[in-house]
Amino acid sequence: MSLSLVIEMPDPDASRLLEAIGPDNEEFVDARVVGGSLVLSMEADTPMALLHTVDDLLSCLQVAVDAGAL
């Protein structure tokens, strides 16, 4: 089971956000900047495992935003 999220934003912001979340999510999420978008792809064996990965990722994104990454 897999999921991809595309978050559209100006490229400098997408790059800064990628740098902020990268260390916490390297082994769980494939994250990259494509054009002006942050593209996040993840896989899991079960729906609940995927949900936990997404929940953790969204929490990391929020912490990065709150800390001033953008």
Domain boundaries, the chain: 2-66
With beta carbons less than 8 A apart as the criterion, state whether 57 and 25 touch: yes
- Model confidence at 25, pLDDT cuts 50, 70, 90, reads low
Looking at domain 2-66, does it have CATH number 3.30.310.50?
A: yes
Q: What is the mean pLDDT of residues 17-25?
A: 78
Instruction: Report the percent of the chain where pLDDT is more than 70.
Output: 93
DSSP 15: H
